[in-house]
């Protein structure tokens, strides 16, 4: 007896999920199955190649824990995270600050610090100040906005990549003042390679792609009545600005250092979009 799926596997596979009670799940899985089947046919995917891909995904999963997420890194380096970010923010008003990627090194529960504090503890490097204002699109300050900040060391390492004794480092949360102003200290970040000791690093090497990200500082900014903003500031002049391995750098988010006799600083005003009514 002939298996009915032999004539059109894709059609049969889609028929089997047609009664899915969740319409969004049904929509997503219908498209996913359709495109996956089309991809396999387009490249004449061989069984040994598919098994190699499965092994790759297994190895990727093995490197995921509370200190590292290799799947986020995979999504980032394939450009998928940037595409999803653009889709999620396509209705963001042009006058609001542009979003950027969360990345694989965000940690919840960073310490709440007073304005002016230094987020770099026992980290060698040139001290800088980061200052600015959180504003609404009409230019009014957003009082008490919460800024969740994290960055890499001058050696290109996040605290999650440092020995355990460093604990929470190079990250902190700050409350803007009544006029929306904020300021804190850190050390100058540098460009750095994403982790290359795992399957994603091997993939980048096989594709002839460099693993470097330009120097940057991450922010998540939230305030009552406004859309939560996940973004980053990228340092002007970095040689990887236009070839960011994870497609995250944005021209509108690129800033240069200003200087005086005491130290260098970065100044930037974040503009939040209102929540939809």
CATH number, domain at 166? 2.60.130.10
Looking at the structure, tell me whether residues 125 and 170 fall in a common domain: yes
In a domain, 162, yes or no: yes
In a domain, 64, yes or no: no
**pLDDT reported for residue 6:** 54
In a domain, 53, yes or no: no
In a domain, 219, yes or no: yes
Residue among 263, 234, 265 nearest 129 (CA):
265
Q: What distance in Å separates the CA atoms of residue 214 and residue 239, rounded to the nearest whole number? A: 7
**pLDDT reported for residue 110:** 95
**pLDDT reported for residue 4:** 58
**Range of the structural domain that residue 212 is part of:** 70-272
In a domain, 56, yes or no: no
Looking at the structure, tell me whether residues 108 and 234 fall in a common domain: yes
How many structural domains does the chain have?
2
84-108: pLDDT as tens digits: 999 999 988 999 999 999 988 899 9
Contacts (Cβ under 8 Å, ≥6 apart) of 150: 105, 106, 107, 110, 119, 158, 170, 171, 217, 218
Looking at the structure, tell me whether residues 33 and 96 fall in a common domain: no
**pLDDT reported for residue 165:** 62
Looking at the structure, tell me whether residues 77 and 8 fall in a common domain: no
Residue with tokens 């994290």: 150
Looking at the structure, tell me whether residues 88 and 27 fall in a common domain: no
Q: Which residues of the chain have pLDDT under 50?
A: none
Please tell me the pTM assigned to this model.
0.90
Contacts (Cβ under 8 Å, ≥6 apart) of 101: 76, 81, 82, 85, 230, 232, 246, 247, 248
Lookup: tokens for 177: 């003042």
Looking at the structure, tell me whether residues 112 and 184 fall in a common domain: yes
Looking at the structure, tell me whether residues 151 and 37 fall in a common domain: no
Looking at the structure, tell me whether residues 200 and 234 fall in a common domain: yes
Looking at the structure, tell me whether residues 25 and 144 fall in a common domain: no
Q: What distance, in Å, lies between the first and last C-alpha atoms of the chain?
A: 59
Asked whether the CA dihedral 269, 266, 238, 83 is positive or negative, the reply is negative
């Amino acid at each position: 007896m002939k298996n009915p799926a032999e004539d059109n596997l894709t059609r049969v596979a889609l028929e089997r999920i047609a009664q899915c009670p969740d319409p969004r799940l049904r929509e997503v899985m219908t498209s996913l199955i359709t495109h996956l089947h089309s991809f396999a046919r387009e490249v004449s995917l061989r069984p040994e190649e598919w098994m190699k891909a499965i092994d790759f995904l297994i190895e990727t999963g093995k490197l995921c824990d509370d200190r590292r997420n290799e799947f986020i890194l995979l999504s980032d380096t394939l450009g998928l995270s940037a595409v999803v970010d653009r889709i999620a923010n396509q209705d963001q008003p042009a006058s609001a600050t542009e979003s950027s990627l969360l990345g694989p090194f965000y940690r919840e529960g960073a310490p709440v610090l007073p304005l002016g504090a230094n987020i770099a503890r026992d980290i060698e490097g040139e001290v800088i100040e980061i200052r600015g204002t959180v504003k609404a699109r009409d230019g009014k300050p957003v009082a008490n906005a919460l800024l969740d900040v994290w960055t890499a060391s001058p050696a290109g390492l996040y605290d999650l990549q440092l020995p355990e004794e460093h604990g929470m480092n190079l990250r902190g949360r700050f409350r803007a003042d009544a006029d929306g102003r904020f300021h804190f200290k850190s050390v100058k970040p540098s460009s750095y390679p994403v982790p290359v000791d795992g399957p994603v690093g091997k993939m980048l090497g096989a594709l002839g792609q460099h693993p470097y990200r330009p120097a940057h500082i991450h922010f998540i900014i939230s305030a009552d009545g406004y859309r939560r903003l996940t973004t980053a500031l990228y340092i002007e002049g970095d040689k990887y600005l236009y070839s960011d391995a994870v497609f995250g750098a944005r021209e509108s988010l690129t800033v240069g250092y200003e200087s005086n006799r005491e130290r260098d600083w970065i100044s930037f005003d974040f503009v939040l979009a209102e929540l939809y009514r």
